[in-house]
Structure 1
Amino acid sequence: MYHLARGIIQELTRREEYSVLILGLDNAGKTTLLEKLKGIYNEGRSLSSDKIVPTVGQNVGHITINNTHLKLWDVGGQHALRTLWHEYYAECHAIVFVVDSTDRARIEECRDTLQTIVAHEDTEGIPVLMLANKQDRDDSLEVEDIKEIFNRIAEHLGARDSRVLPISALRGEGVKEAADWLTIRLERNKQYRPPDRR
């Protein structure tokens, strides 16, 4: 009887959880974004910016926004690690693609990388949020310029929800707005890719 009651309680207290991939080239600010999100939504429990080092492999964080539970996967962006990204696609519910707005030399590589992601069959239909990071810097490209560069992949996005937003992950500017946009789209897309039950 105890096991039956325990099983019922566990089933009733399970919650929906969405897996979100945070991708982008190395040094785009993915880990800084993850830590800023944890700091905003987990009562300040995050690494300070001076303790953040390049990701080799992955970092995982959990946050809750308006009763929407997110498991955030910050996956390393070095060229060798990008070949492993596709292993995560089938299980994710959304992709956040972080662009270093100051890295003009690699902006085309960045665009080509995003095109490869959205063209993969396992990412079909899931929301894609592109964040033009480092907008606090004087040498950053304007968001409109970044949109123009990335317009060439619009045909691969299809009818899915997608957006480009300016942020400064370091300062936290635009991060909450990006998270709000994402949670609305996850809820809207749950019929297509239902959340996990944890």
Structure 2
Amino acid sequence: MYTLFTGLYKQWTQKEEFYVIILGLDNAGKTTLLEKIKSIFLGVPGLPPEKIGPTVGLNMGKVDIASTRLTFWDLGGQRELHSIWSKYYSECHAIVFVVDACDRERLEEVKTSFESVITNDEVEGVPVLMLANKQDVPSAMRMHEIKEVFNPIAVQLGAKDSKVLGVSALKGDGVKDAVDWLFVRLQRNKVNRPPVFTA
């Protein structure tokens, strides 16, 4: 009888957990985004921007929405770290690709990196959210400019669920909308990428 109750309790209390990887070039604002997500959804102050340094390896954050846990893996964006990105593809349930909308000079490098991510066989069927960050800066590329550059690549996504959104990770503008979009797509995509279960 104890075993039955233990099993039922475990079933009722466990959460669906989805892994979301945050990718992009260095200085795109990935860690700032993760800190803002934690701040919005956990109600705790994130690291102040001046204390956020370049990610070497991995930063992680977890937020719960209803009975679902989203675990974010913020991976380093320096060129020499791009080779480790693919090690996370098979386990991830969604990809967030952050673009520094102020950095026009590295746009070609961003395109190449993004294309190498979305054409990898291991991300087949995974929702992809591109965030044009730093929209609070007057000189930032606007959404129509970003879409013009990345729409030709997006055609390669085929059946993947994808979206481009403008955000300011620093101020938080658009961040909740981005996570809400992810949450809905993760729920829809459970057949292709089932969640893991955690207590």
Gaps of 5+ in 1: none
Identity of aligned residues (%): 54
Residues 94 and 127 in structure 2, CA contact (< 8 A), matched pair in contact too:
yes
Matching residue of 1:21: 21
Give the counterpart letter for 2:177 in structure 1: E
Q: How does 1:70-109 map to 2 (within 5 A)?
A: 70-109=70-109
**Count of aligned pairs:** 198
Give the counterpart letter for 2:115 in structure 1: Q
TM-score (norm 2): 0.94
Give the counterpart letter for 1:10 in structure 2: K
Matching residue of 2:51: 51
Matching residue of 1:111: 111
Distance 2:139 2:66 in 1: 35
Give the counterpart letter for 2:123 in structure 1: T
Matching residue of 1:192: 192
Which stretch shows the higher mean deviation, 156-165 or 9-18? Answer: 9-18
Distance 1:55 1:14 in 2: 31
Matching residue of 2:151: 151
Say if 2:176 is the partner of 1:168.
Answer: no
Distance 2:3 2:140 in 1: 58
Give the counterpart letter for 1:121 in structure 2: D
Distance 1:141 1:66 in 2: 35
Q: How far off is 1:179 after superposition?
A: 0.8
- TM-superposition CA deviations, 1:79-106 (whole Å, max 9, x none): 0110010000000000000000001011
Q: How does 1:128-143 map to 2 (within 5 A)?
A: 128-143=128-143
Q: Aligned pair in 2 of structure 1 residues 68, 7: CA closer, same or farther (>3 Å)?
A: closer
- TM-superposition CA deviations, 1:15-36 (whole Å, max 9, x none): 1100000000000000000000
Distance 1:44 1:62 in 2: 12
**What root-mean-square deviation, in Å, do the aligned CA atoms of Structure 1 and Structure 2 show?**
1.5
TM-score (norm 1): 0.95
Gaps of 5+ in 2: none
Q: How far off is 1:168 after superposition?
A: 0.3
